[in-house]
Amino acid sequence: MKKQILLSLCITLGTTPLWADELNVDGYATSIDIYASAEQAPTQPETQAKIEIQPAAQVEASSPAPLQMPGLSREDNAALHLSILRDEVDNMTQVGFFGSLFSANEELQQALMQDIELFLSIYSDLSITADVMLLKGEMFAKQNQPESAAIAWLQTMYEFPKTDAALNAKQQVLDLIDSDWDDYASDIKAITKQVPSAEKPQRLRKLINQLYPLNDKAMVAALTLLQLDFLKRFSNDPHDDEVQILLAHNMGAESAEAGIFGFKKLLALYPNSSYRPEAMLAIADLQRTRLKAYENAENNYKALIESYPDHKLIKNAYMSLAITQAEHLKKYADAVQTYKDVVKLYPENKVALKAMQNMAKLQTRKTNEPEKAVVTLRKLATMFHGFEATDALDDAIKIASKQLKDEKLAFEIRQQLIQDYPSSDEAPKALFAMAEYMEKQGDTEQAKAFYNQLLQQYPDHKLVRKVRKKLKR
């Protein structure tokens, strides 16, 4: 009788619990009267009434037992909960473009999303949760939030890979991106191809890492929610610092202050994390580029360099420190020294090339050291080859000629250019200038030798006509 009573309540909700088969009834065809009629004795005339006082124990024994409802199992509760959610989501129509502003069922949408999150937090260990995660994606889709829908469906695939819901979710994602996702369609398709065989936290971290490079504002916002969900559910995962650092980067994309908070959280909660240098660099970069807190940035770059001198990111810290000193704090001498440190520490890296180029500009324009600028540029041309080297030597020639008024030094630099880079576009011009310099010095024989060298090495150059005229004189 008790289970029949509960069954009537379940029928009202449109579902049948697992134990219904025991009653051998059709849940939708059976009507159960839960109010049983009690037989009453014929009423006696008042004059014939006979009052009998029964002992208390006897009265208590004759009282009806309280009605007790049978308890549902946790699985049955989840099934009923899912049924209610599915009915409501299925009945919800797709909102228009301005649905978030003018939808009549906005409150219901909010309530359903809250209830979905409640379900996910209570029944995360049940396989039926995959269906609710799928519904979450459908809710986002009906609210015109395709990026959030895609991430919810991808989470369904990666969290419950061997379920029918995962197959359905994959098809939903593919249908979505085939409709109007030109920018990230190929990236999303790659994510759907193969879910890694690993534990759930590892699968979700893989998903987060694959989604992180997709630089779209709505996608970043949806991914942030997935990252927060991961940190809430898998706080004991040995690699959750990886999710925290990516979350901080996402937060920083929206707000410099929020990003700094996220990176500081990593520094506080993960003292042994391998991502600490990255967090320290990100804090200083946000202070420099977004908050204009240049002194704080300078101090944090220095702290990073001191704490992790051998880390691969330190060269970036050095360069950003020099830029902060030169462009913002006007500490030109300090910036030059920082660039020198870069060249000393990373002589074969392209960062040293950039450091020397910037250092020469500072020495020429800010610290009034053109002689040192020439030394820097000539050194650059010996360490690096290609157009950067010939450009550096060309700049050094201009500094020697115009600023230093030292034609002899300019002559030496041209000799270096011709010797080291004879096939460069600047070599014929350098050779012609060297010949003219020797003419001014009265050494006509040496001048003719240079002119003839130009004719021999560069017979098709436009300077050949001028050379021939000079030789005819």
The CATH number for 164's domain is: 1.25.40.10
**Rounded CA separation 349/318 (Å):** 13
In a domain, 250, yes or no: yes
Per-residue pLDDT of the chain (473 residues; tens, 9 = 90+): 444 444 444 444 444 444 444 444 443 333 333 233 333 444 444 444 444 445 544 545 555 666 665 678 999 999 999 999 999 998 887 655 444 444 457 888 889 999 999 999 999 889 999 999 999 999 999 999 999 999 999 999 999 999 999 999 999 999 998 877 878 899 999 999 989 999 999 999 999 999 999 988 999 999 999 999 999 999 899 999 999 999 999 999 999 999 999 999 999 999 999 999 999 999 999 999 999 999 999 999 999 999 999 999 999 999 999 999 999 999 999 999 999 999 999 999 999 999 999 999 999 999 999 999 999 999 999 999 999 999 999 999 999 999 999 999 999 999 999 999 999 999 999 999 999 999 999 999 999 999 999 999 999 999 999 999 888 86
Question: What are the backbone dihedrals phi and psi of residue 104, each rounded to the nearest 5 degrees, phi first?
Answer: -70, -25
- 255 in the same domain as 348: yes
Q: What angle do CA 19, 20, 22 make, to 5 degrees?
A: 75
Which residue carries 């197959």 as its tokens? 167
Indicate the burial class of 276 (C-beta count within 10 angstroms; 0-12, 13-18, 19 or more): buried
Residue 431: half-sphere exposure toward Cβ, Cα within 13 Å: 28
Instruction: Name the pTM for this structure.
Output: 0.77
The domain boundary, picked from 183, 218, 234, lies at: 234
- 298 in the same domain as 206: no
In a domain, 273, yes or no: yes
Q: With contact defined as beta carbons under 8 Å apart, do 355 and 339 qualify?
A: yes
In a domain, 311, yes or no: yes
- 217 in the same domain as 260: no
- DSSP per-residue letters across 232-247: HH-TT-TTHHHHHHHH
Domain count, the chain: 2
Q: Which residues contact 48 (CB under 8 A, 6 or more apart)?
A: none
| Integer CA distances (angstroms), 282 to 48, 95, 122, 350, in order | 97, 40, 36, 22
> Which pair of structure tokens corresponds to residue 337?
């020294």
**Rounded CA separation 28/226 (Å):** 41
Task: Write out the residue range of the structural domain in which residue 273 sits.
Answer: 239-368
> Which pair of structure tokens corresponds to residue 135?
């519904």
